[in-house]
Amino acid sequence: MTTTKTAGTRPGAPAPGPDAPLATPPARTRPRSRTGGAAALLLTPFFVLFVLVMVVPIGYAVWLSLFSEKQSGLGFGGTETVFSGLGNYTAALGDPAFREGFVVLLGYCALYIPLMIGGALALALLLDSALARARRFFQLALFLPHAVPGIIAALIWVYLYTPQLSPVVEAMEAGGIGFDFFSPSGALPSVVNIALWEWLGYNMVIFYAALQAVDRSVLEAATVDGAGAWRTAFSIKVPLIRASVVMVALFTVIGSLQLFTEPLILNKGTGSAVTSTWTPNMYAYTAAFERNDYGLAAAASVLLALTAALLSFVVTKLSGGRKQKKAEKGATA
Amino acid sequence: MSRSWSSWKRTPFVAVGAVTALAVLTACGGGGGDATAAPGADGKPVDLTFWGWAKGTKEVVDAFNASHQNIKVKFEEIPSGNAGGYAKISNAVKAGNAPDLVSIEYPMLPEFVSQGSVQDIGALLGDDVKKKFLPQAVELTTLGGKNWAVPFDAAPQAFYYRKDLFTKYGVEVPKTWDEFRAAAQKVKKADAKARIGTFFPDDPTTFQAMAWQAGAQWFKAEGDTWKVNTTDPATTKVSAYWQKLLDDDLVRNNASFSPEWTNSLKSGGTIGYVGAAWGAGVLKGTLPEQSGKWAVAPMPTWDGKAASGMLGGSTFAVPKNSKKAAAAVEFAKWMTTTEAGIKARIASGTSSAFPAAAELRPVAKKAFDAAYYGGQDIYQVFEDAGTSINPNWAWGPSTGTTNSVIKDQFGKVTNGGTTIADAVKAGHDATVAELKKRGLKVEG
């Protein structure tokens, strides 16, 4: 509190004062080649890794997606790899299973994102206004599920979903609620539930950290002006942590597109309605490892990556645009 | 998890294998170092790596290593085929670090052959060895006129049931599918929580075996054209029959070998199992506490005459990169056609494999402790079923696609998401599309 008041700027920002102009000239007059050399040296590891683990694999996937394996006769003479242009792309787009994967994702996002953002925000606001001791406990308790690896979480939940095995299902049945978590209509909520359990605490911590950084004097001013707890939460706190909300939304959208582990566990060995091509990621996996069609798998992956890139662009553009407008408004006011 | 674990474990052996391969190659570099040379003839043992998951395999490998100096086998257990084992094998072949011998079930063998993942081992197998096997098993491993695998077991279907509960509920062992339905109703009437059997949505091969038994022929090769027909009258009859059983809640709908299924067997909620010969060992291993309560009967049939399909069954094939095919085939022959090989597996107590080699069935029968089945001569049941295996069935070259699509659709059969018939039709369409994509001629 005191630091924010005295400095008036973010920590780390150059201290304003008469010394500042004096400090900068030597840096400016420093020979350009030396800075360039240092920059190159420091950036090399990044670019080497970037090329090795990003550019090369993506390039290889694109390359793979242009070929397909052809056979002749009855197909027992082995395969021949031939260039097929965009053939794998049309095959993937023409496959209803692939398209249905995107419909599932859409449904997943529609259900998951509001629940996630709303839930995490609500919990963070509650935590922000709670007693200090309870705060510690709940922060840890809510974050704990995130420490469980996704695959383990999915296995635990599969156990809890399985009729005749799960105490939860048994209790629900005893209470007159018959819900089949593996049925065609139950599969989506089942997966959303696992994801919520895993990520709610994590996102809550991000929101909570942002709330902690809100200037307390603003909140005090609000209280003095007569704003109640609700009013403070929705008119002061939430607008002030907008940037965090947008960031979490972006990560959640991209994370949703990559949905894989949880439905895969639900697919294997449960006989549930979660198919092996339930999400586009699973479609690519199945194409590669069950159908031995690497070209199709690569094409499906590239299409998914393009969708993710497009979506991230849209989300950042939208949020960035709004922020700018707001800033302009602020300037004119 | 197990996949990554065993691939970590694998790395050193691949390296060791490569070094030995190099040593062997240089050793016989001068004269005829081809794959058909007698293994270990130069006095140095050949090291083989073998991937499989069938029950009792470890015991078989131990027995082989104990009795052989020229070949040393390193067994690495992988997840069963459909649980990721096949993916592991095909990836290893693509990466060039596959082992020298792998387990592949009959339905998947054509897929591996069509991917060019395994070697033609006809010359190493020899005609006299081929004659030892059940003709249907040889037929299923011969594709395009070449032998691609050594058949190990035939897997005639069988119906397992809780003898004590059948007696208690006054249910006769069904001989026909009509009787099976009546028996199912009786079981449910006697105990509202009990069911006679299970529809396995995760395992299309159980359904295919029933279609096979009914006389279906999904894949036919004519010239160089594949004729695909998964919706013939025989299959349609089987689909409708099981759909009705599910609709009337007369059978369970659980994944095979899932905790859910096992649990219902333990509690007496499921008192029958439509399976195959190898199932006897699996039941025994899964439910040791129910010893003496189970019995085996021939599969119910449509007209009361003996008939059977084949449900799974293992073969051994040599991946294309292996330089040690001769040694691998020798080991595979030992596992499948020698008394010691069969004995070692069955004596492990967990396997009830029905050898494809006819002369070894008495050996298997003797080695299997049938106390679990009240001393019943279960191998006689398998023997009768084995001779009645419908010889017309062939597997197509895209089982991976066919079965993953059918499995996906079967998963939606619960709660009326789809029907068995529609699921099978979806499998048909996907198969035809896949074969066309590969550039093959298809009708269907």
Q: Taking the domains of chain A in order of start, what are their residue ranges?
A: 90-332
pLDDT (tens digit, 9 = 90+) per residue, B376-385? 999 999 999 9
CA separation for the pair A174, A176 (Å, rounded): 5
Q: How high is the pLDDT of residue B41?
A: 61
At B170, give phi and psi (nearest 5°): 70, 35
E strands present in B247-338:
252-253, 272-276, 294-297, 314-317
Burial zone of A195 (CB within 10 Å; 0-12 exposed, 13-18 middle, 19+ buried): buried
Amino acid (one-letter) located at B399: T
pLDDT (tens digit, 9 = 90+) per residue, B273-296? 999 999 999 999 999 999 999 999
Query: Could you say which residues from 281 to 320 on chain B have a Cβ atom under 8 Å away from some Cβ of chain A?
Result: none
Q: A-chain residues within 8 Å CB-CB of B439?
A: 70-72
pLDDT (tens digit, 9 = 90+) per residue, B74-94? 999 999 888 889 999 999 999
Amino acid (one-letter) located at A199: W
Q: How high is the pLDDT of residue A177?
A: 83
Model-level pTM?
0.83
Q: How high is the pLDDT of residue B23?
A: 39
Q: How high is the pLDDT of residue A316?
A: 77
Query: Could you say which residues from 60 to 119 on chain B have a Cβ atom under 8 Å away from some Cβ of chain A?
Result: 83, 86-87, 90-91, 94, 110-111, 113-116
Query: How close B202 gets to chain A, by Cα (Å)?
Result: 5
User: pLDDT at residue B13 above 90?
Assistant: no
Q: Read out DSSP for A131-200?
A: -HHHHHHHHHHHHGGGGS-HHHHHHHHHHHHSTTT-HHHHHHHHTT----TTSTTTHHHHHHHHHHHHHH
Query: Could you say which residues from 404 to 423 on chain B have a Cβ atom under 8 Å away from some Cβ of chain A?
Result: 404-405, 407-412, 414-415, 417
Query: How close A276 gets to chain B, by Cα (Å)?
Result: 6
Verify whether the Cβ–Cβ distance B90 to A77 is below 8 Å: no
Question: Which segments of chain A have a pLDDT < 50?
Answer: 1-27, 330-333
Q: B-chain residues within 8 Å CB-CB of A270?
A: 202, 255, 258, 260
Chain B residue at shortest CA distance from A289: B87
Q: B-chain residues within 8 Å CB-CB of A73?
A: 144, 224, 440
Amino acid (one-letter) located at B272: G
- The domains located in chain B, with CATH, are 2-153+314-367 (3.40.190.10), 157-309+398-443 (3.40.190.10)
Block residue for tokens 């013939």: B232
Query: Which of B1, B112, B414, B425 would you mutate first to test chain A, the one with the most A CBs within 10 A?
Result: B414
Q: A-chain residues within 8 Å CB-CB of B429?
A: none
User: pLDDT at residue B186 above 80?
Assistant: yes
Residues 6 or more apart whose CB falls under 8 angstroms from that of B433 comprise none
* CB contact burial A44-62 (16+ within 10 A = b; e otherwise): eeeeeeeeeeeeeeeeebe
Q: A-chain residues within 8 Å CB-CB of B415?
A: 180, 183-185, 273
Q: Is the ipTM of this complex over 0.90?
A: no
Considering the domain A90-332, what is its CATH architecture?
Orthogonal Bundle (1.10)
Verify whether the Cβ–Cβ distance A71 to B397 is below 8 Å: yes
Using CA atoms, how far residue A98 sits from A109, A281, B133, in Å, is 17, 9, 43
Q: A-chain residues within 8 Å CB-CB of B434?
A: 291
Q: B-chain residues within 8 Å CB-CB of A290?
A: 86-87, 400-401, 404
Region B115-122: what's the mean pLDDT? 93
At B320, give phi and psi (nearest 5°): -65, -25
pLDDT (tens digit, 9 = 90+) per residue, A260-273? 999 998 888 677 88
Q: How high is the pLDDT of residue B366?
A: 92
Q: B-chain residues within 8 Å CB-CB of A79?
A: 114-116, 438
What confidence category does residue B44 fall into, taking pLDDT thresholds of 50, 70 and 90? confident
Q: How high is the pLDDT of residue B143?
A: 92
What confidence category does residue B37 fall into, taking pLDDT thresholds of 50, 70 and 90? low
Q: Read out DSSP for A285-325?
A: HHHHHTS--HHHHHHHHHHHHHHHHHHHHHHHHHHHHHHHH
Contact A274/B at CB under 8 A:
yes
Region B45-50: what's the mean pLDDT? 94
Which pair of structure tokens corresponds to residue A59? 């390039």
How remote is the C-alpha of B99 from its chain's centroid?
A: 20
Q: How high is the pLDDT of residue B139?
A: 92
Chain A residue at shortest CA distance from B110: A76
Residues 6 or more apart whose CB falls under 8 angstroms from that of B54 comprise B103, B152, B278, B314, B345, B351, B353
A73, A76, A183 member nearest B414 (Cβ): A183
Chain A residue at shortest CA distance from B1: A151
Identify which of B345, B350, B352 has the alpha carbon closest to the alpha carbon of residue B160: B352
Contact B168/A at CB under 8 A:
no
Region B17-39: what's the mean pLDDT? 41
Burial zone of A180 (CB within 10 Å; 0-12 exposed, 13-18 middle, 19+ buried): middle
Using CA atoms, how far residue B237 sits from A308, B143, B177, B197, in Å, is 46, 29, 11, 19
User: A45 with A68: CB under 8 angstroms?
Assistant: no
Query: How close B315 gets to chain A, by Cα (Å)?
Result: 17
B201, B414, B440 member nearest A75 (Cβ): B440
CA separation for the pair B403, B132 (Å, rounded): 31
Contact A167/B at CB under 8 A:
no
B224, B400, B435 member nearest A292 (Cβ): B400
Contact B206/A at CB under 8 A:
no
Look at strands B71-77 and B272-276 and give their pairing.
unpaired
Number of CB atoms found within 10 A of residue A165's CB: 18
pLDDT (tens digit, 9 = 90+) per residue, B336-370? 999 999 999 999 888 999 999 999 999 999 999 99
Contact A192/B at CB under 8 A:
no
Chain A residue at shortest CA distance from B109: A76
